Each structure stands twice: as C-alpha cells, then as structure tokens.
Structure 1
Amino acid sequence: ADIVFDIGAHIGFYSILFSRIVGEKGKVYSFEPSSEVSSALALTIDRLANTTLLPFGLSDKESDGFLFIPEDASAASLADWTNESLGKVHKISCQIKRLDDLLANNEVPRPDFIKCDVEGAEELVFRGGLEILDCKDAPIILFEVNEEASKGFNLSKTGAMDFLASLEKADFSFFDARTDALSQISEIPPPLPSALAVNILAVPKAKLNRLSN
C-alpha cells in the first residue's frame, strides 16, 4: 500500500492519477496552499476515498505567509512576483509548515513517493523534510527544476538536487524524467525549447530495483 505526497497539487490532475495508481489500499496526500485552488480541489478529492487535502504550503520553516498569484499566469508562488512582468498580482494569506513536523505530530505517515512542483521552492520543501528524506527508506521523488522561479527565493537551480545528493543515508541517484526511457544524470540538463522547467526523478539506493518494475 503506497503512500504518495502530491506537493503543489494545484487543481488535482496528478492527485487523481496517483489515487488510481495506489488503489484502495494506498493513500494520497495533496498539499495546496491556494484557497482559491484548493476549494475546487476539495470537490475533486471528495470523490476520492483514498485522498486527503492538506490546505497549506511547505517550506523549511513554519510560518504564516502569503501566496502570490499573477492574473496572467496559471502558477502561484510563495515568492513575491509583484515586480515581474506577469500583469496584476494579488496575494492571499496561507499557512506554511514543515514536512518533518507533520510526521512528528502523526499528521502524515512516511511517504513512498513524492511529487514536488512548487514554483522554485523545492529545495526549501526538502530542507524541511530531512527526517523523511535522509534515511535508507527514503521516498522516490519527482521534482521540478525551474531556474527563473528559483531566483524568486534567492536559490540556485541546482539547490534541490544538490541537497538531495548530500543525503548519505538515502544515497539518491538522479534521472531525466522527461522521456519514458529514463537516463541517469549527474547534473541538470537544459530545458527543452518548449519548456521552462526540467523534471528530475530522484531514486534512493534501496528502491533502484523499482525502476525496472
């Protein structure tokens, strides 16, 4: 029975997919801090018996923060995009928590798989989940690398991958996840001409055998 975290669930496309994959015995936890999006997501999740909505953001520190939502873009971010050329930006308040605190408080179990797409803040999410990620039973992680979005947090595009690579107990290997045929990588490849981001799959040593399955 697999446990999946969909971090940055947005309208729930991947949550629905994960719900079908894990089946009745599995569980999906959908993290989405935007109240404007999560209200619609809640309607979707209500029909999924194995999926739970957690309406807050994740980072390396617990706090009350703001989510910045450009009217001319589909993405929202915890970084202030007010000065970007994305049209009018409005902000809404949101809670921000740490993965490790959720685990310690028994609000979530240990995940088997994490999908993390949080508009440049992936490194911060991972730093807040050290207990979950730095262990031999670490989850497989699919995460996005978006250089421009990372700049909004004063982070480098390699930060998330570098942090995961430093976790000796998990001993992650990395793969380019943009094609069906996964290719192992040691550095982040450039995005395709039609895309702003790159999807990376991080697999702990203990779960490398699952790739063949």
Structure 2
Amino acid sequence: AHVGYFTLLAAPLFKRVISIEPHPKNYEVLVKNTERFPNVTTINKAAWKHGGTVAMDLPENSTVMANVQDLGRLRKYMTQVPCGTLSTILGDTFPDFIKADAEGSEDTIFRACPEYLDRAKALIIEYHEMQLRRSSKVESGKEFIDLLAEHGFDKLIYSELRTPVDRDKLPPSNSMFLNLLGVK
C-alpha cells in the first residue's frame, strides 16, 4: 500500500478497501492518510508465503523498494517484520479487485494462496522481471505471467504501454517497471 495513494483513489469507489503495508514508516503515513475513510482497513504486515516474521531490506533514507531480498546492502538495513500468507491476513475475505506491488514477491505471495487470484475479477500488479527473479526466485517473468493465466488472467495489458502482454515477448529483464492490468 506504501503511503496510500492507490488506497485513497479506491476508498470512495469500493465498499471495503484492505491495505497491507509492511514498512513501519510507510504504515504510519498510510494510517494517517486513510483515517477519514471508515471503509479502509490497514494491516501492518508483509504478505508472504508463511506466517511469523521475514527479513526485509528497509533502506535507511528511503520508503520505496523495501523488499524481502538482500540487495547486498549493509545488514543494518535488514529488519524483521511480521508477515503472513494472504489467507492468514485476509481470512475468508476475497477481494474482487487486487492491487499488488510487492517489489518482485508477487509470484511467491500468490503461489502460496492462489485462491485469491481465482476469486478476483480484476487486478493491477507491478511487473519487473529482475525483481521477480531476485525476490520470488523465478527463472523468468514468464513464470509469473503464466501463473496469472492459470488463474484466469490470460489477457493482460501493460498500462503504461497500452499494449497487450505477449507471453513469448516479455520486456527485457532490465526494463522499466510496468503495471499489468487484468480483467476476467
């Protein structure tokens, strides 16, 4: 959820919005930014493949790019944060719409709880092959695109490029971050 930009856009449009943000500083701002919306629930955890805690790389002077991979920074930037699977965080709440930007951990998160993809009607997910390789340990971004297709999101577009996703011609691994839009 970061600091709630998308949450603020969604709050007037949806009956209920659940925003998950693991970064402690971002979470404080998220809570402040969304306090006037009674339909917004904020959760200070990392979505992950298991419950408990996970080591996150939280850069000292940045609130972006926090992730569960070790980017080779000094260990002082690694912080244990609470985590859980989508099923332990959301329970039997299945969102119709999913917005996910987990810095490459999306594949790991949704493989642990694919039923959330099955039940969703639409999604926006950030796609960056290099981050997926680092955080989710996939061989290529195609594995993640295939996962989405297996769960009904077989027609995706890149929002910034306004072009359909061709699973055989994905952007190079060093390309920009792109948002995938999908509707069943």
Residues 148 and 183 of structure 1: CA distance in aligned 2, closer, same or farther (over 3 Å): closer
Match of 2:143 in 1: 159
Superposed counterparts of 1:131-210, under 5 Å: 131-134=115-118, 137-153=119-135, 154-155=137-138, 156-167=140-151, 170=152, 172-179=154-161, 182-187=162-167, 189-190=170-171, 196-204=176-184
In 2, the alpha carbon distance for the partners of 1:176 and 1:150 equals 16
Q: Is the 8 A contact 2:99 2:123 kept in 1?
A: yes
- Displacement, 1:35? 1.1
Structure 2 residue runs without a partner (length 5+): none
Contact 2:141 2:170 in 1 (8 A): no
- Between 53-62 and 145-154, report the one with greater CA deviation: 145-154
Superposition TM-score, scaled by structure 1 size: 0.74
Structure 2 equivalent of residue 61 of structure 1:
50
State the 1:163 CA deviation.
Answer: 0.9
How far did 1:147 drift?
2.1
1:71, 1:88 within 8 Å by CA — same for their partners in 2? no
| 1:90 shift after superposition | 1.1
RMSD of aligned residue pairs (Cα, Å): 2.4
Q: Contact 1:58–1:99 at 8 Å: present in 2 too?
A: yes
Matched residue SS, 1:20: coil
Q: 1:139 to 1:129 in 2, by over 3 A?
A: farther
Q: Deviations over 1:170-191 (max 9, x none)?
A: 3532122115xx4433326437
Equivalent position of 1:15 in the other structure: 7
Alignment: residue pair count: 179
Structure 2 equivalent of residue 119 of structure 1: 103
Output aligned runs, 1:58-97, within 5 Å. Answer: 58-71=47-60, 73=62, 74-81=64-71, 83=72, 90-97=77-84
Matching residue of 2:21: 32
CA contact (8 A) 1:190 1:198 kept: no
Task: Write out per-residue CA displacement over residues 32-59 of structure 1, whole angstroms, 9 at most, x where no aligned residue.
Answer: 0111210121111212211110110112
- Give the TM-score taking structure 2 as reference length: 0.84
